[in-house]
Structure 1
Amino acid sequence: MSLQTKKETFLNFVNGEWVASSTGEVEESINPANKDEIVGYIQKSSLKDLEKAITAAKQAKNPWRKLSGAERGNYLYKAADILEENIEDIATTMTKEMGKTFPEAKGETARGVAILRYYAGEGMRKVGDVIPSTDSEALMFTTRSPLGVVGVITPWNFPVAIPVWKMAPALIYGNTVVIKPASEAAVTAAKVIKCFEEAGLPNGVINMVTGSGSVIGQGIVDNTDIDGITFTGSDMVGKQVGQGALARGAKYQLEMGGKNPVIVAEDADLDLAVEATISGGLRSTGQKCTATSRVIVHADVYEEFRNKLVAKVKEIKIGNGLQDGTWMGPCASENQLNTVLSYISKGKEEGADLICGGNRYQDSDNPNGFFVEPTVFDNVKNNMAIAQEEIFGPVLALIKVDNIEEALEVANDVKFGLSASIFTTNISKMLSFIEDMEAGLVRINAESAGVELQAPFGGMKQSSSHSREQGQAAIEFFTSIKTVFVK
């Protein structure tokens, strides 16, 4: 399977065809481990290109929704098989384009395969209930209707899993799709879309248009033929998407990041807590919305935990994600690198103690990469920027507390509420955490990052629009309930 020409140019996918944008312009997608390496060229599209894609999706929506769920599911099964066949190529592309290590990229692609198969099976599950009527001669039941055309706006950090976990439920429940992937990961996205094309989906059912957020993303928000918008990205952009959708009455779903805490109680298994904090906070270079960012530790074990953590962090091997032994790759872009470095500077300015890392990492094998050292701050106060704002990088902030009540107060004292975890062997502390933690995903004795595909995923407070993705919960966004009364 290959979309690449000799010039490595990737096209838009509209109405079943790969087409160049009307602008005639392309932009580079570069390797963040080596900014001099171009992974491919992607289309710099215009509103005209987007409108063609939306028109195609609108024309395809009625024939698509009239297929049975099982028929739609068969297409997803085929797409899953093709994605699995191309797992090595797509994972390699992801590592080159986004920077995460190859094992992580391969695992993410395998997750995309599993998501497709899960939602393919949804085509055979119930979509309504029979409800008793007060009229003995009537039948009353519920069914579900698809929204119609769904606009999908996805970020660069999970360039296979997030597009798939949005598109798969949209499709199985009878919607057609127009996706705008992040430009930093659009080559990977094009290869995923190619799997759907090879699965034989009818023309117009799935469409991809690349380009800037200000043009293509905003165009999706504004177009009255887009019936629903599902978005993952920053809280600032997400709020703009929500406001635009609300203004014209479109349904919207937003996932907008987190500032996720790990609580380490005095009775915790410290080795387990250290391992999970490093994995949850620093894998994928901290570029996960569920990544651990704040580490809230009981005073009795604070020093021991800190020493164990720093010792392990210093062992991390940084480098190109395609090289054997690399544990942490680069930031996904120069902008992201600069953002992380600016937060490290803020942390020092605000009086936190930098005890590990904190610098741009110079990799002798990849001198032009966007690498940063994994960073740990000590003596962090919860009102500091590094404890309040999403950094989206490998930065851990250690905060000392005296008891579980203070830990929960600190953990909840942010505007986000996506994920959180606690390490304890005490049932009372576990129950308090489950009850009082203001987060959509809470995990006990496990890292904050990670959610199983069959479980609902989403946040509280400003982490989301209070809807849920993944699992059977996805049907709530991608359909509307229709109540039927038959006399």
Structure 2
Amino acid sequence: MNIKTDEKTYLNYINGKWVAASNQKVNTSINPANRHEIVGYVQQSEKEDVDQAVRVAKEAQVSWKKLTGAARGEYLYKAANAIERRMDEIAETMTREMGKTFPEAKGETARGVAILRYYAGEGMRKVGDVIPPSDADALMFTTRVPLGVVGVITPWNFPVAIPIWKIAPALIYGNTVILKPAQEAAVTAAKVLECFDEAGFPVGTINMVTGPGSVIGQAITDHPDINGVTFTGSDSVGKSIGLGAFKRGAKYQLEMGGKNPVIVANDADLNQAVEATISGGLRSTGQKCTATSRVIVQSDVYEEFKNKLIEKIKEIKVGNGLNEDVWMGPCASENQLNTVLSYVKKGIEEGATLIHGGKRIEEEGLADGFFMEPTVFENVNNKMTIAQEEIFGPVLALIKVETLEEAVHIANDVKFGLSASIFTKNIGHMLSFINEMDAGLVRINAESAGVELQAPFGGMKQSSSHSREQGEAAKEFYTSIKTIFVKP
């Protein structure tokens, strides 16, 4: 068996230096498009490594918070420029490590650059308000102060954008950071941290410790000197992190996925709806928290929509994301592939009709990767497992309804409430959907997976801790308000 590897070992980043884990152990990061290709080796760290990182981050925060917002912003600009210079390298690493196509990876990396520049500018924006006091001789105003040390726990599906949209606001508002990336994307994270190192951040300001969530994530959650924890991942892990942070009085922010619906009304532009459903549901192999999962279609247009959808899905080219003609890459890991296949099996057992895909792809030279056919079910009712649980794979469940009222009821009838979209030309239908949909992100005639960096992002119900990320809303988590009363 031939093993392809660049044989590079990526270290933790602590106190401005690249250091090995205290136990000297490493994990192997492999290419999901070819399990025989090793992308690199990353540290399998222990609690002691987190303790070291927190110690230096706490010390560094004393001087970091004293810098002006503009001065902190200059470092973010430098990091953005460094990532931009290495855009293709980082994007190629992302494709090799977690499987999304190179154009998607490059777009995500460019988004990371844009996020850094956005928050660099945030250093020049206001951080408080003047409030009229009851005493005419006094002055009363508010300002915002950093939390201190922030733990950042991120998933593998957006290994550049999600860490940056947490790290950038944390830093600009005067916090220092401990990053724990997902093991499946730790090489990509190391490439990003190399750019922060190149930008010359003061030592200890930003640190990275890699390793299993059960060890490193838990150590971050429990550490008494970590003042805030921000997490994106599964709802079960998120709730555990939230509970642990709450018990010791730390601030926490959780984004925990979705079961996102698209409603296709009988007056919709079906071609537009089909394109958006495929893009929202199958790009990145369906491995997005905002990915379309349930497609709720009015009966008058159901058959026509279904036929157009299947026809377009049949054109999708699955393969290695570095190949130019490939539209959809592999699942990010063998475990994720098996999870998706288990949901397909469950769908069939519960009575849904599999009308396209549903199998692992092992022909055409793809047997060594974790490739999955784009999959579509119909005759799905909303009580089925595939209509209730987040699959995180390229699986669409078609649900036929008679009325829009029924469609909205079904769309809301899940524990999640992250994103939702509707396709209709009727203004009344749009307004009803906006008012009645229990989701943090509502989109009209657009795919469910669109997220804008300058706008608040987060979910309702069990999709989040009811906090919001990105845009100006980020300051609500990364700072505390201080009220000042001054009397001569």
Report what 1:8 is aligned to: 8
Q: CA RMSD in A?
A: 0.8
Amino acid at match of 1:278: I
Deviations 1:399-452 (A, max 9, x none): 001111000000000000000000000000000000000000000000000111
Report what 2:295 is aligned to: 295
Report what 1:164 is aligned to: 164
Q: Secondary structure at the match of 2:59?
A: helix
Q: Is the 8 A contact 2:42 2:187 kept in 1?
A: yes
Q: Is the 8 A contact 1:363 1:369 kept in 2?
A: no
Q: Measure the CA separation in 2 of the matches of 1:366 and 1:84.
A: 32
Q: Is the 8 A contact 1:108 1:160 kept in 2?
A: yes
Is 1:35 aligned to residue 26 of structure 2? no
Q: Secondary structure at the match of 1:317?
A: coil
The equivalences for 1:102-141 within 5 A come to 102-141=102-141
Q: Measure the CA separation in 1 of the matches of 2:42 and 2:57.
A: 21
Q: How far is the alpha carbon of 1:477 from its aligned partner?
A: 0.1
Q: How far is the alpha carbon of 1:165 from its aligned partner?
A: 0.1
Amino acid at match of 1:150: V
Report what 2:183 is aligned to: 183
The equivalences for 1:463-478 within 5 A come to 463-478=463-478
Q: Is the 8 A contact 1:319 1:363 kept in 2?
A: no
Amino acid at match of 1:56: V
Q: Measure the CA separation in 2 of the matches of 1:7 and 1:59.
A: 35
Report what 1:371 is aligned to: 371
The equivalences for 1:52-131 within 5 A come to 52-131=52-131
Q: Secondary structure at the match of 2:18?
A: strand
Q: How far is the alpha carbon of 1:362 from its aligned partner?
A: 1.6
Q: Measure the CA separation in 1 of the matches of 2:466 and 2:134.
A: 34
Q: Measure the CA separation in 1 of the matches of 2:82 and 2:73.
A: 14
Q: Secondary structure at the match of 1:458?
A: coil
Report what 1:347 is aligned to: 347
Deviations 1:135-189 (A, max 9, x none): 1110000000000000000000000000000000000000000010000000000
Q: Measure the CA separation in 1 of the matches of 2:457 and 2:243.
A: 22
Q: Secondary structure at the match of 1:24?
A: coil
Report what 2:17 is aligned to: 17
Report what 1:202 is aligned to: 202
Amino acid at match of 2:293: S
Q: Is the 8 A contact 1:221 1:241 kept in 2?
A: yes
Q: How far is the alpha carbon of 1:193 from its aligned partner?
A: 0.6
Q: Secondary structure at the match of 1:36?
A: strand
Report what 2:359 is aligned to: 359
Q: Measure the CA separation in 1 of the matches of 2:369 and 2:211.
A: 24
Taking a change above 3 Å as real, the CA distance of residues 212 and 308 of structure 1, as seen in their structure-2 partners, is same
Report what 1:330 is aligned to: 330
Report what 1:429 is aligned to: 429
Q: How far is the alpha carbon of 1:363 from its aligned partner?
A: 4.3
Q: Secondary structure at the match of 1:283?
A: helix
Q: Is the 8 A contact 2:6 2:40 kept in 1?
A: no
Q: Measure the CA separation in 2 of the matches of 1:351 and 1:312.
A: 25
Q: Is the 8 A contact 1:20 1:43 kept in 2?
A: yes
Q: Is the 8 A contact 2:6 2:39 kept in 1?
A: no
The equivalences for 1:299-314 within 5 A come to 299-314=299-314
Q: How far is the alpha carbon of 1:6 from its aligned partner?
A: 6.5
Q: How far is the alpha carbon of 1:366 from its aligned partner?
A: 3.3
Q: Measure the CA separation in 2 of the matches of 1:362 and 1:428.
A: 48
Q: Secondary structure at the match of 1:124?
A: coil
Q: Secondary structure at the match of 2:420?
A: strand
Report what 1:217 is aligned to: 217
Is 1:153 aligned to residue 186 of structure 2? no
Deviations 1:88-137 (A, max 9, x none): 00000000000000000000000000000000000000000000011111
Sequence identity, in percent? Answer: 75
Report what 2:439 is aligned to: 439
Deviations 1:54-88 (A, max 9, x none): 10100101100000000000000000000000000
Q: Measure the CA separation in 2 of the matches of 1:44 and 1:151.
A: 18
Amino acid at match of 2:128: G
Q: Is the 8 A contact 2:418 2:439 kept in 1?
A: yes
Structure 2 unmatched ranges of 5 or more: none
Q: Secondary structure at the match of 1:267?
A: coil
Amino acid at match of 1:454: Q
Report what 1:406 is aligned to: 406
Amino acid at match of 2:235: D
Q: Is the 8 A contact 1:142 1:482 kept in 2?
A: yes
Is 1:256 aligned to residue 256 of structure 2? yes
Is 1:389 aligned to residue 389 of structure 2? yes
Q: Secondary structure at the match of 1:400?
A: strand
Q: How far is the alpha carbon of 1:367 from its aligned partner?
A: 2.3
Q: Structure 1 length normalisation: TM-score?
A: 0.99
Q: Structure 2 length normalisation: TM-score?
A: 0.98
Amino acid at match of 2:95: T
Aligned length: 483
